[in-house]
Structure formats: structure tokens, C-alpha cells
Amino acid sequence: MNIEIYRQITKRREQINKNLSIHTEGIEKLKKHYWTKGIDKSKKAYRDPIRFIKQSYPDVFKQVANVNIYSTTASAIKSCLRLEDAYGFFSTRTSDIFLTFGQFEYDELIKINPTIDEILCHEMLHAVSFFRGSGGFVRYANIEEDFAYGGMIPYIRSKGYNDKEIANRTLLAYCLSKHLQNKDYFKELGYDRKKMSHSDFCSAWARIRRVYKNGLRKGAFEEAMEFIKNFGNKRAIRFEGRFSALEF
């Protein structure tokens, strides 16, 4: 092997190991944080989603059921892990789930209203994909989130919500990102994103939210309904099979 390539690979591995170590230390710090509390697994908010996991993914049910679950605050997560804008997350490094609540990035534009059991179901689905053999989510982030959000749809339907309600209460923020991939609002306002500084980008995005507020909401809703069509019915079964067969 070329010595320079070897050095680059070694350096990359060292950085990955360093990042993993920092993440693990942050998780342990978060567990001990004043605002972090363990979730009582006897409560209905836990029993409903774990029952859904048992029925839908029996092959990894026991692993998911053994995951530790905590509630905490957004400020605690930001302080310990430097993560923002998360209702919850599943740590693949420590196999812990953390839940928090509040409106984040799109609160002035789009408001979603997931309940604690729906957030927990979402994070449990991340655990499902991990225990099925996913080694990490960075490279396959879109597939990972499609799997978790798509897997939530039958769970939320079981609570009596129709597809439009599911789109509005759960999927708008996620599907807004999909809408933005398909429509370049920056170009429409004359911006060249390749030449923009971070400050310029933030200012332009604030202007886009003002000018295209209704269009952004409509686009997110249309994407959400299309997402439900693709992942909320029989197609979801085929998608699941394709996902679980991937090697990460």
C-alpha cells in the first residue's frame, strides 16, 4: 500500500476513534445531568410503542426492549453533546435512547406535535435498524430516517389518525428538507449558494422563510403526503426488506 494512503487512512481512523470517545464521554455526562431522568417502562407511553415493535419487528424485539431510555432537556443535550434541534436520539455507541421536547428549527414556520410515545417509537425504530446490523447512520442518513419515519406511520394510524393528520402532526419538518432538495428557493431570489458565507446563508434563509412561507408549508405537506404514499402502505414492506438487507 502507498505510504501516503496508509497515513491518510490511519489519520482518519484516529479521528473517528477520537470522535467516538468524545461522544461516549458526552453520553455518560448526559446520563448524570441534573435534568436527565430514567423513563418508567411500566407507563403507557412506553408500553404502546414497545408492543408495536414486538408485533412488527419480533427479530430484534428483545434487544430494543433492553435499551435504556431517558428523558432530558434540549439544553442538557446541547451542553453535553453539542447537538441541537432534536426531540430525541438513539446512541448507536451506547445503545441508549434520550427524549426531549420543544419546538426547534422550523418553529416559526412549521409546528409539529408528536407525543412522547410517538417520539419514543421513532427512536425505537432507529434501534431496530441498528440491531439488524447497521453499523452507522452518517453515510445512509436518508435511508435511516426514511425507515424510522416510515415505520412510525402504521403506529400513528393505529391511534386513529388519518394520513393528512399524520402529515401535519409528525412529518412536516422532515419533509420540508425533502421539498428543499427539489426546489431551489435561493436561486429564485438570485443567490449563488456556492459563493455565500455562513452569515450570508443565514440571512438568505431568513428571507426565504418570509417570502415563501406559504409555499414552504404547502411543499412540505405535499412531500409528506407523497412520503406516506410510498412508505405508509404495502410499499413499506418492500422498503423494509431492501433496508434490512443492506450491509453497513
- Three-class HEC string of the chain: CCHHHHHHHHHHHHHHHHHHHHHHHHHHHHHCCCCCEECCCCCHHHHHHHHHHHHHCCCCHHHHHCCEEEECCHHHHHHHHCCCCCCEEEECCCCEEEECCCCCCCCCCCCCCCCHHHHHHHHHHHHHHHHCCCCCCCCCHHHHHHHHHHHHHHHHHCCCCCHHHHHHHHHHHHHHHHHHHHCCHHHHCCCCHHHCCHHHHHHHHHHHHHHCHHHHHHHHHHHHHHHHHHHCCHHHHHHHHHHHCCCC
pLDDT band at residue 242 using 50, 70 and 90 as cut-offs: very low
pLDDT band at residue 5 using 50, 70 and 90 as cut-offs: very low
Average pLDDT over residues 20-25: 70
**In sequence order, what are the residues at sequence separation of 6 or more whose Cβ sits closer than 8 angstroms to the Cβ of residue 174?**
145, 149, 224
Residue, of 45 and 221, whose pLDDT is higher: 221
* Structure confidence at residue 77 (pLDDT): 86
Per-residue pLDDT at 8 exceeds 50: no
Helix axes 74-81, 3-31, angle to 10 degrees: 140
Average pLDDT over residues 107-130: 86
What is the rounded distance in angstroms from the CA atom of residue 34 to the CA atom of residue 168?
34
Average pLDDT over residues 136-151: 72
* Structure confidence at residue 87 (pLDDT): 77
Average pLDDT over residues 146-170: 93
pLDDT band at residue 19 using 50, 70 and 90 as cut-offs: low
- 142: cell is 436518508
Residue, of 216 and 11, whose pLDDT is higher: 216
* Structure confidence at residue 13 (pLDDT): 46
Closest alpha carbon to 128 in 175, 62, 39, 70: 62
- 6: cell is 496508509
Q: What is the pTM of this model?
A: 0.81
pLDDT band at residue 22 using 50, 70 and 90 as cut-offs: low
What is the rounded distance in angstroms from the CA atom of residue 227 to the CA atom of residue 192?
29
Residue with cell 487512512: 9
Per-residue pLDDT at 57 exceeds 90: yes
* Structure confidence at residue 133 (pLDDT): 77
Per-residue pLDDT at 9 exceeds 50: no
* Structure confidence at residue 15 (pLDDT): 44
Residue, of 81 and 67, whose pLDDT is higher: 67
% of the chain surpassing 90 pLDDT: 35
